[in-house]
Structure 1
């Protein structure tokens, strides 16, 4: 769900903003803030790589299972929890509010100052409580990771301050969608993160299995991921149709080249059967196929538009959507061939 988190958060925030009467532009900005917030919890995988490298130098084995076994102690346990998400929401909103107060030409009225100070105070208090909890209940290194994560969140909020036209409440709501939805996107590939860490009893311990057959289980995860991406794409085409080049509606985006994804069906009997443990067998073969289709369709679109600057945006969008459609068709074709084969 490294990709699905962001697309789902964009869809939830974007459609939600439209439902309460916001303009397309406001909904677009809400979706962007939510997507950024949904991305940030996974950035600590950089720290996890460093942690694993140290462990390997000390004799730990190489491999995906070994990597996640080492990394998850300070990866999902720290950033993929609801308390951390709640505090991160406050930090991002506070950084946006303070960043706006310091930008040239900003309205420095009393209400804006009060909101910035209030959010900053709540964020600082929440961080103090959270870091103390991680230090006491998990480890000092977990507290350090949490502090680094919140610093990254604040930096992201500072960057977003001058780029999104949302009210302080809108930023807070959109950020909350991203941060608080993130933990629930990981329940299909691994054991769920400890939702209330560092203050929790364990309330959800087992991953969600979508099928008894291990390969069908993985294909179900692929379907969930693709659904999340398509929801985000549909929301984007709704709120940003004027930015899509020559593609104004989702139904206009389908390129016949995407049918090349159906050629992936023989992989069900030619390749080793992938499972959650060795999902790379699926990902490392089907994603390159989709990428080739995307480049093919994007280049064709670019040539059709004569290489104009405006056409580059449309070409990029056309290529992405053709690749996504090819990936979806490949997944369907593989699943049908697999079911027939077994």
Structure 2
């Protein structure tokens, strides 16, 4: 879901900017900044590295991932995923992005003060919460300062991009894990349990994966719209290789949220191999068509890969439903 958070924030921000009449470059830039901020809440998984410290190599790779995610549950989706925290942090990040030499010292002081206030609130909760809040503040500050120095976006726009990125993030976790602490440091009485897409744990996982895939398609569609490119025109026929993934449910145990690595890595592998596979145009095609630009080639790889994964998912689902799934 890490990629999905960023792509969803990017797509909405860029689409709104395009609708508002912004030029192509600024629309893509504000989308990229929003997407970067949308990844900041997941900095809390850094604490999960302590789980790897207790991992024994003799236990295998899957044991390492289990130790990592078990440790992450101590703080993941807590202080950094709060809408309240986001509402305070976003203007603070905007203030840190001020470039005007006369206003910058005061603005940055106020911004740092807001972040320190969040850190103090977390410290009252626990030292661990304060450490995670500190990581969140530093990560967001780096994105804000980087955006302020490398783009022409105003501090107000950066603050809005930060708010959208931070507020859009928690919703993507509703079907894959425990719900976030929406209103931290206050109690969060709503949406206190995971949304169940299907009673069958494998169909639930496939549904969550399909939602993530739809977000990727949405982001690609927005990118193509903003840059005046065709969404499906760049999809190579290599994507049809994804249909071969129909054998996967017959060859491996059905995946669930608890054990999904074999499914995720293998289906993404199919997409990657399809996207970067060799291109062998005909002699006539070589003589008539100029070599594609780097951007066009990257778009072809992305679209072909995602199309292959989509075909693979449909093939897997069909075989699982009609052959493997319990009656």
Q: Give your verdict on TM over 0.5.
A: yes
Residue equivalent to 1:105: none
> Aligned partners of 2:19 and 2:65: how far apart in 1?
42
Residue equivalent to 2:293: 311
> Aligned partners of 2:107 and 2:172: how far apart in 1?
28
**Which of 199, 217, 225 is the aligned partner of 1:212?**
199
Alignment of 1:17-32 (within 5 A): 17-32=17-32
Report the CA distance between 1:257 and its aligned residue.
0.8
| Residue 80 (structure 1) aligned with residue 81 (structure 2) | yes
- Secondary structure class of the residue paired with 1:337: helix
**Which of 306, 313, 323 is the aligned partner of 1:324?**
306
Residue equivalent to 2:190: 203
| Residue 276 (structure 1) aligned with residue 275 (structure 2) | no
> Aligned partners of 1:305 and 1:234: how far apart in 2?
28
| Residue 266 (structure 1) aligned with residue 247 (structure 2) | yes
Alignment of 1:1-342 (within 5 A): 1-49=1-49, 51-56=50-55, 62=63, 64-97=65-98, 100-101=99-100, 113=103, 116=104, 119-137=107-125, 139-241=126-228, 248-296=229-277, 299=279, 311-341=293-323, 342=325
> Aligned partners of 1:203 and 1:164: how far apart in 2?
38
> Aligned partners of 1:293 and 1:331: how far apart in 2?
14
Residue equivalent to 1:244: none
More displaced 10-residue stretch of structure 1: 120-129 or 153-162? 120-129
Residue equivalent to 1:104: none
How many aligned positions are there?
317
> Aligned partners of 1:329 and 1:120: how far apart in 2?
49
CA RMSD in angstroms comes to 2.7
Report the CA distance between 1:174 and its aligned residue.
1.5
- Secondary structure class of the residue paired with 1:251: coil
Report the CA distance between 1:8 and its aligned residue.
0.5
More displaced 10-residue stretch of structure 1: 18-27 or 270-279? 18-27
Report the CA distance between 1:184 and its aligned residue.
1.0
Report the CA distance between 1:309 and its aligned residue.
8.8
Q: Under a length normalisation based on structure 1, what TM-score does the superposition of the two structures give? A: 0.84
> Aligned partners of 1:181 and 1:119: how far apart in 2?
26
> Aligned partners of 1:142 and 1:309: how far apart in 2?
53
Identify if the C-alpha distance between structure 1 residues 133 and 237 changes in structure 2 by more than 3 Å, giving closer, same or farther.
Answer: same
> Aligned partners of 1:133 and 1:13: how far apart in 2?
30
- Secondary structure class of the residue paired with 2:21: coil
Report the CA distance between 1:310 and its aligned residue.
6.3
Q: Extract unaligned runs of 5+ from structure 2.
A: none
- Secondary structure class of the residue paired with 1:250: coil
Task: Tell whether the 8 Å contact from 1:91 to 1:123 is kept in structure 2 after alignment.
Answer: yes
> Aligned partners of 1:291 and 1:134: how far apart in 2?
41
Q: Under a length normalisation based on structure 2, what TM-score does the superposition of the two structures give? A: 0.87
